[in-house]
Structure 1
Amino acid sequence: MKLRVKGIEDNQPIPEKFAFGVYSEEDHMNFGPNRNPELEWSGEPEGTRSFVVMMFDPDVPSEADDVNQEGKTVSKDLPRVDFFHWLLVDVPADVHQIPEGADSDGVIPKGKPTGAGPVGIRGVNNYTQFLAGNPDMAGTYAGHDGPCPPWNDEIIHRYHYEVHALDVDTLGLSGEFDGNDVRAAMEGHVLASARVTGTYTLNPDLRRD
């Protein structure tokens, strides 16, 4: 099974047009265009009945005390956890593409609704938790929202874009389900998977201009 993420080469930097946050010399970070990239996949095995689309960052700090704090850095030695950026389930088996900007085009304060996405059903990404304490931004963030790693992190973050071919028509998920719910529901139903990994950082010491 093969996956193509248009504009993103494997293990290369993600263009800013796909990011939730972009580098700012004055303010560290400004909101970005936050467009989802175009995904196109093929070569799924016989018996595929639906797809799951998933994007996650495995490099998010497990502790947020020093995140985006002046005069501090997020240590490269800090344990890391997964942060889900994009979840679409029950994507029909005859769908093999999601156009650029179809599931996200700009930062939407308080998030996008759950339910039907451009294809399939949207799950809730982890900006829901990350922005919960910000009264201007708090809400339920469903579907795609792009990279915005801490600007003071010592490591460059990786972002895994994945498509999974499943042997079921539906995972039976609804409402505010998250990435862990999707992984649990997929268990035992994955026929094949494909992945493209991009990288991103807002740390000026790590950026490649």
Structure 2
Amino acid sequence: MKVQFNGITEGQPVPEKFAFGVYSEEDHMSFGPNRNPEVTWQDAPEGTKSFAVVMFDSDVPSVADDVNQEGKTVSKDIPRVDFFHWLLVDIPATTSCIPEGEDSDGVSPKGKQAGPGPIGIRGVNNFTQFLAGNPDMAGTYGGYDGPCPPWNDELVHHYHYEVYALDVETLGLDGEFDGEAVRKAMEGHVLASERVTATYTLNPDLR
């Protein structure tokens, strides 16, 4: 299976147009264009009945006490966890492209609706938890929301963009399902998958 995330290059920085947060000299971070990248795929295996798209950051601090705090840094030695940015499942087998900006075009305060979207079914990304304490932003974040790592993190973050070809038409997920639910539901149903890994940082010392 051949997969392309247009504008996302292996080992290179994610372009700012796909980011939730972009570097700001005055405020460390400001909202970015937050567009989902175009995704295309071809040559899926015989027997493919649906596709899933997953994008996650594998470098999120497991302890958030110092995240985005003036005068502090997030140590590169803190254990890291996965943070899901995009979950799309039950994409029909007849689909081979998700256009740029189709699932997200700008930051949506308080989030976007989970469930059936423009293409497939949207899961809930981890901005739902990350922004829960912010009264201006708290809500359920469905679909795509791009990179926005801590601006004081000593570690450059890695973002994994994945497409899965599945042998079922539906994963049977509904409601506000998350990334771990998607991974569990896909077990035993993956015919093929492809991944592109890119990087992103808001730390001016690492840019």
Shorter-chain TM range is over 0.9
Q: Which amino acid aligns with 1:193?
A: S
Query: SS of 1:13's equivalent?
Result: coil
Give matches, 1:88-107, under 5 Å: 88-107=88-107
Aligned to 1:21: 21
Q: 1:112-123 counterparts in 2 under 5 A?
A: 112-123=112-123
Q: What one-letter code is carried by the residue in structure 1 that aligns with 2:188?
A: G
Which aligned pairs between 1:63-74 and structure 2 lie closer than 5 A?
63-74=63-74
Listed as ranges, the gaps of 5+ residues in structure 2 are none
CA distance in 1, matches of 2:156, 2:132: 25
Say whether the 8 Å CA contact 1:14–1:199 is kept in structure 2.
Answer: yes
Given the alignment of the two structures, is residue 35 of structure 1 paired with residue 35 of structure 2, yes or no? yes
Q: What whole-Å deviation, never above 9, does each CA across 1:2-53 have from its counterpart, x for those lacking one?
A: 2111111111001100000000001000000000000011121100000010
Secondary structure at the counterpart of residue 110 of structure 1? coil
Q: Quick check: 1:98–1:118 contact (8 Å CA) kept in 2?
A: no
Cα separation, 2, equivalents of 1:194 and 1:117: 23
Shift of 1:177: 0.3
Task: Give the TM-score taking structure 1 as reference length.
Answer: 0.98
Aligned residues: 207
- Name the CA distance, whole Å, in 1 between partners of 2:22 and 2:127: 16
In structure 1, the residue matched to 2:188 is 188
Instruction: Percent identity, please.
Output: 78
Asked if 1:49 corresponds to 2:43, the answer is no
- Greater than 6 Å deviation, 4+ residue runs: none
For the residue of structure 1 that corresponds to 2:152, the secondary structure is coil
Moved more, 40-49 or 145-154: 40-49
* AA matched with 1:185: A
- The amino acid of 1:18's aligned partner reads F
How far apart are 1:88 and its partner, in Å?
0.4
Task: Tell me which amino acid in the other structure corresponds to 2:198.
Answer: G
